[in-house]
Amino acid sequence: MMKRAVIASSNLRYGAVFPVQNGTPMSTISAIPFFFSLTNHPIHHDHNFRASFHSQTCTTNPKIEVVNSFSSSRTMFLKFVTDQCRGGFTDLDDALVLFNQMVQLQPLPSIACFNQILGTIVRMKHYTTAISLLKQMELLGIVEPGVCSLNILINCYCHLNRVDIGFSVLGRILKLGFEADRITLTTLIRGLCGEDRVGQAVELFNDMVAKGFQPNVVTCATIINGLCKTGNTSAAIGLLKKMEERNWGANNVVYGTIIDSLCKDKLVSEAFNLFSDMISKGILPNVFTYTSLIHGLCSSNQWKEATRLLNEMVNRKIEPNVWTFTILVDALCKEGKIAEAVDIVEVMIQRSEVPNVVTYNALMDGYCLQGKLVEAKKIFDLMVGRGCPPNVHSYSILINGYCKKRRMAEAVRLFQEMSQSGLTPDTVTFTTIIGGLCHSGKPLAAQEIIKEMRACGQDPNLMTYSILLDGLCKNHHLVEAMALFQEIEEIGLHLDIVAHNILIGGMCKAGKLEAARELFCSLSTKGLQPNIRTYNIMINGLFNEGLLSEANMLLEKMEESGFSPNGYTYNIIAQGFLRHNETSRALQLLHEMVEKGFPANASTVTMLMDLSDNSGPNQSVLEMLRKPM
């Protein structure tokens, strides 16, 4: 479920920009730690960062070895560095060799040259390495970093989810007498959004505008993306309007982000209105925009519109990608339209789009939903044969299909194959196989799977335990169920009312009424309230033991607690009266039940028919049987 956040209009300000302490602005310089101390934060550096500034790193890359031939020409060497940075490196060590040679040049290259190679390392996602290089540059007095270098540092910390240190670097910028630029603030805004602190990002954005900074489309797109991800689509639309009013340059990325969010909120009509508005302004949609709209249409079962939009997309020379096709395949499979989904996959392949694991999973799931396990397994084998490795979800889908059909031998074999292929089953996979074994009457085997699950480092969740408890109780392993229940409580997992109902029901069916009563009475001390199912289980257990008076008292208590009897309540009480020859009370209750719109179930009807057979025709009983069920 997407997180929903309301943008708070707080007085929060950031230490590096508008520091406030006890409501009073304080000195920015005193609020910000010195730059050198930033490196003491617990950021773990890349293990392969091995370069030092006074040792030559070896490499076998012929492109880097060419550098030695440039040693007599500083200009040619620096041009080579620039060209390498533009082309990008495939190996971090290659970049570090050049950096090491740069710091040995006399005079040193400009800060712009160093920033080029630092930027390349950042693009390779070696953020901690870039931080270490910047630290060494300053510690060795090689060069005093400028705004560009410190922006790189902020960017690294934001990518490492340490935006707090990023703001400290902003303080360093201000202390050095520089002014933060649009890149600085946009990077910090992105960092805040990346840590789900969208409200603070919006506040910083507003401060930025109030201080005279002109946000560009990247800044606005960052805020809009954050707003949409947290469910504030209306606020994102408001910012889009402001962008248009102030000529901040909305593009198809901004529109596409909001359209996608509207579609996910099932506001497809509003999404199409924005789509039309976008086109009327001359902003061309891209594949992402169309894919979002197609997804929205499929989610609302507007298949004809989805097909029309796909054709429109192709006519506009916008090629559908693997995700466009996969969304259609998944939606069709969920609707049971497998044949149409297969047709889409064929079209996809004809257009040179290779199905991915998500596409194959959607097809497998579609077949499993229809119980067509042979076809589902064929898709699985086809996927493997085409060089697309199945993932955990692929196995889980097929295992679930086998479990639902009680074909546990195939399910277990696939489960074992999954582990042998190097994939670790997740909680869903484990819970599925445990449920399948329990439903097939093998709860003790399921218990062994729980042990295997723990050995793999997976903690069973409440659903996993509840399924196993239910399996043990239904298969007459009450001792094991009670031991498991106690074990769960001892490890500190809070068992809900559903789990308690399972064990109370198991105790009642096993004739352990006293134990069931004790567990029922302990609910309030655990902070749990019985629900109508809890009361029904206990009432049924009391009737089975012939405790009619106590059962009636519990029924009254149930009603006092705000629970009205449902169809199951009426049936179990009527059956209890009939079993104990309280026929008139049973018939009275059944009349009341039918008047309230609840039907007699199969067990009640059988008992009524037996009553008629034994005592001759009974008009009340015959009328009861004529009521629609």
Task: Give the mean pLDDT of 64-93.
Answer: 75
Strand-pairing partners, residue 25, are 20
Angle at 117 between CA 111 and CA 121, to 5 degrees: 135
Task: Give the mean pLDDT of 110-116.
Answer: 88
Residue 47: Cβ-neighbour burial (10 angstroms; 0-12, 13-18, 19+): exposed
Q: Are 577 and 592 in contact (CB under 8 A)?
A: no
Task: Give the mean pLDDT of 101-117.
Answer: 86
CA-to-CA distance for 121 and 125, rounded, in angstroms? 7
What is the average pLDDT score of the chain? 84
Q: What is the dihedral of CA 26, 28, 30, 35, to 10 degrees?
A: 160
Q: Are 598 and 567 in contact (CB under 8 A)?
A: yes
What b/e sequence results for 585-609 when a residue is b if at least 16 CB atoms lie within 10 Å of its CB, and e otherwise?
bbbebbeebbeeebebbeebbebbe
Task: Give the mean pLDDT of 78-90.
Answer: 86
pLDDT of amino acid 581: 86
Which whole-number Å values give the CA distances from 38 to 34, 128, 135, 164, 577, in the listed order?
Answer: 7, 12, 9, 10, 77
Give the gyration radius of the chain's Cα atoms: 34
Which whole-number Å values give the CA distances from 25 to 87, 143, 208, 387, 613, in the listed order?
Answer: 47, 33, 17, 62, 91
CA-to-CA distance for 65 and 63, rounded, in angstroms? 6
Which whole-number Å values give the CA distances from 601 to 403, 541, 577, in the listed order?
Answer: 29, 18, 15
Q: What is the dihedral of CA 341, 347, 348, 352, to 10 degrees?
A: 160
SS3 annotation, 510-554: CCCHHHHHHHHHCCHHHCCCCCHHHHHHHHHHHHHCCCHHHHHHH
% of the chain beyond a pLDDT of 70: 85
Residue showing tokens 């060494």: 136
CA-to-CA distance for 604 and 101, rounded, in angstroms? 90
Whether residue 65 has pLDDT greater than 60: no
CA-to-CA distance for 606 and 608, rounded, in angstroms? 5
Residue showing tokens 């960092």: 191
pLDDT of amino acid 626: 56
DSSP string, 275-297: HHHHHHTTPPP-HHHHHHHHHHH
Whether residue 485 has pLDDT greater than 80: yes
H or E element in which residue 24 lies: strand 24-25
Q: Map out the domains of the chain as residue ranges.
A: 565-629
Q: How confident is the model at residue 269 (pLDDT cuts 50, 70, 90)?
A: very high
Q: How confident is the model at residue 7 (pLDDT cuts 50, 70, 90)?
A: very low
Q: What is the pLDDT of residues 497-543, one digit of tens each?
A: 999 999 999 999 999 999 999 999 999 999 999 999 999 999 999 99
At 520, list the tokens. 């029922």
CA-to-CA distance for 513 and 511, rounded, in angstroms? 6
Q: How confident is the model at residue 135 (pLDDT cuts 50, 70, 90)?
A: confident
Q: Which of 329, 263, 320 is nearest to 296 (CA)?
A: 263
> pTM of the full predicted structure?
0.72
Q: How confident is the model at residue 221 (pLDDT cuts 50, 70, 90)?
A: very high
DSSP string, 54-105: TSPPP---HHHHGGGGGTT-HHHHHHHHHHHHHH--S-HHHHHHHHHHHTTS
Phi-psi category of residue 67: left, alpha or beta, with phi > 0 → left and psi -120 to 50 → alpha: alpha
Task: Give the mean pLDDT of 388-412.
Answer: 95
CA-to-CA distance for 297 and 279, rounded, in angstroms? 19
CA-to-CA distance for 441 and 452, rounded, in angstroms? 19
Whether residue 46 has pLDDT greater than 50: no
Q: Are 196 and 187 in contact (CB under 8 A)?
A: no
- Beta 20-21 vs 24-25: how paired, if at all? antiparallel
Q: How confident is the model at residue 72 (pLDDT cuts 50, 70, 90)?
A: low
At 575, list the tokens. 């059956």
Angle at 195 between CA 126 and CA 191, to 5 degrees: 55
The count of other CB atoms within 10 Å of the CB of residue 186 is 24
CA-to-CA distance for 380 and 376, rounded, in angstroms? 6
Whether residue 427 has pLDDT greater than 70: yes
Residue 628: is the preceding peptide bond cis (ω within 30°)?
A: no
Least confident of 367-376, 422-431, 436-445, 608-617: 608-617
